[in-house]
Amino acid sequence: MVGVLFHGKLSFLPAMDWDACYHAARSFLPNMLDEATLENLQTVLMLYLRQRYIGHSESSVILHSIACRMAFILGGNTYTKTQAFKNEMTNQERQTRHIRLLFWHCYIFDKDIALRTGQPPFISDMNCDLTLPKGYVETQFVPPLPGHHVSSSYYADESLVPFLPGELRLSMLKHKTYELLYSTKALAKLNSEIIRAILELDDELESWRLSIPKVVRPALSVSDVKQALSELPIQHRMQNIVLHLEYHYLVVTIHRAGARCIADDSDTHPDADERYTAINSSIALCLEASRSTLCYLHAVIDDLAGEMFWVTVFYPTAAAMMLFLHVLAEPLAPQSKSDLELLSSAAGLIRSMPILRLTARENGHVQLVTDFITELARLGNCAVSNAEKEAELGHFSCYTTADRPKGRSC
C-alpha cells in the first residue's frame, strides 16, 4: 500500500490518473461509514495516505481518525498469535493478521501527527496490546540483497516481515513523550517533574538509538554526512533518511519542554541550580539536533523521493524555527552567526528538495515556506546587528545559555 505511493519507481504498475482514482474512491466514503470492514479500512487508509503525501494535512487527519476507529472496531489493537508469514493459514487467520498490520499503520501515523500538531493522539497505548510483529526487531533494518529490484513479486513474498512506514518502538516513545510532556496533564506538572520526565525519555531514546544497527543508526550530532544511499531501493533509502530526521526531531521535542521550566528568582528550592543546569543542557541539545537536521538534509538532498516532500519539508522548517528563537534570545552567543548562516540555507534547501508534482498550489506553498524562512533569517540578522551595536555602546548585556543567571533573560 505504501509502495504504491512511489509508483514512478515501480515499472510494473500501469499508468493511470491517480487523482481520478482518489476522487472516485472518496465518493464512496459516506457509504463506508456505515460499517467497519477490512475493505473499508484499507480504502480509508489509502485515502489518508494520498492526502498526506500531497500536503492536504487537515483532510488527511480527519481520514486518519476514521481509520483509527475502524481499526479498533475490527480488533486490530489486540494481539492474536498467527502463523509465520511463510506458513499456510486459513482465510480468517490471514484477515486477522492483515487487520493487525493496518492497525500498526494507523498507530505510526497517529503518534507522528500528535507530535507535529500538538493535538492529542487518537490511539491510547493503554487500550492496545503493543506486542511487536514476530521477527520485527531482527529484520526491520536488514538491507535488500545486492542487485535486488522492487517488483510485484516482492510484495507477494509472504516470507518477508511487513515493511512499515515507521519504526514501531520509536512511535511508542513518541506517544510516551506526548503523554509525559505535552498532554493537558503534563502542562500542569511541576518543574522538577518535567525535568525528571525529560531525563527518563532521553535515556530511553538513547537506548533505542543504540539498538539500531550501526549502518543506519542516527548520529548524535551531524556536521558532515557522506552516505552511499543511492544504491538502495527508494523505500529503503527513505526509511534510512526519515529515521534520522525523526530521531533528531524527537530529541528537540523532548528537550524543548525544558524551556517551560526556566527558573526565576522565586525558585528557592535547594536543587534549583541543578535544575537550571539540566535546562541549559536541554536547550543545547535542542539546538544541536536542529543543526544536525539541516546538515543531514543538505547531505542527502539528492537521495530524497519527490513523493515524500510534504512529509520531510516539516523537518527543516521546524529546525529553522528553533535556531531563530535561540538567536533572538541570545544574539551575541558564539554560534549565533553560524546558526544564522545555517538558517538562511534552509530556504534554498527546501527549494532544492524534489517534489513529485509542482502545481500552482504546491508552488505557492513552497514559496510561502521559503519566504517565511528568509524573513526569519532577516530578523535574526537584525537582532545580532542591533545587539552588537548596543554592546559597543555598553548598553547591551547578554549571557549565553551556559552562564545566564537564574531569572535573567535577554
**In this predicted model, what pLDDT tens digit does every residue of 270-297 receive, in sequence order?**
566 777 788 889 999 999 999 999 999 9
CA 46-136-91 angle, 5° bins: 60
Residue 30: all three cell numbers together: 459516506
Which pLDDT band holds residue 40 (cuts at 50, 70, 90)?
very high
Neighbours of 115 (CB within 10 A): 20
Structure pTM?
A: 0.88
What single-letter DSSP state applies at residue 14?
P
Residue 192: all three cell numbers together: 522538577
For residue 1, what pLDDT is reported? Answer: 42
Which pLDDT band holds residue 361 (cuts at 50, 70, 90)?
confident
Q: Report which of 327, 339, 320, 340 is spatially closest to residue 387, judged by C-alpha positions.
A: 327
pLDDT above 90 as % of the chain: 59
Buried b (16+ CB within 10 A) or exposed e, 209-243: beebeeebebeeebeeeebebeebbbbbbbbbbbb
For residue 254, what pLDDT is reported? Answer: 98
Burial class (CB in 10 A: 0-12, 13-18, 19+), 308: buried
Is residue 58 within a helix (H) or strand (E), and if so which, with residue range? helix 57-73
Phi, psi of 266 (to 5 degrees): -80, -10
Which pLDDT band holds residue 76 (cuts at 50, 70, 90)?
very high
Provide mean pLDDT across the span 82-102.
82
For residue 3, what pLDDT is reported? Answer: 46
What single-letter DSSP state applies at residue 146?
T
| The one-letter amino acid at 284 | A
- The lowest-confidence range among 10-19, 287-296, 304-313, 324-333 is 10-19
Give me the long-range contacts of 196-204 (CB less than 8 A, separation at least 24): 197/257, 198/254, 198/255, 198/257, 198/258, 198/278, 198/282, 199/278, 201/173, 201/176, 201/177, 201/254, 202/251, 202/254, 202/255, 202/285, 204/173, 204/176
Burial class (CB in 10 A: 0-12, 13-18, 19+), 203: exposed
Mean pLDDT, all residues of the chain: 85
For residue 395, what pLDDT is reported? Answer: 60
Phi, psi of 50 (to 5 degrees): -60, -45
Residues 6+ positions from 174 with CB-CB distance below 8 Å:
111, 112, 114, 115, 250
pLDDT(407) > 50: no
Which pLDDT band holds residue 374 (cuts at 50, 70, 90)?
very high
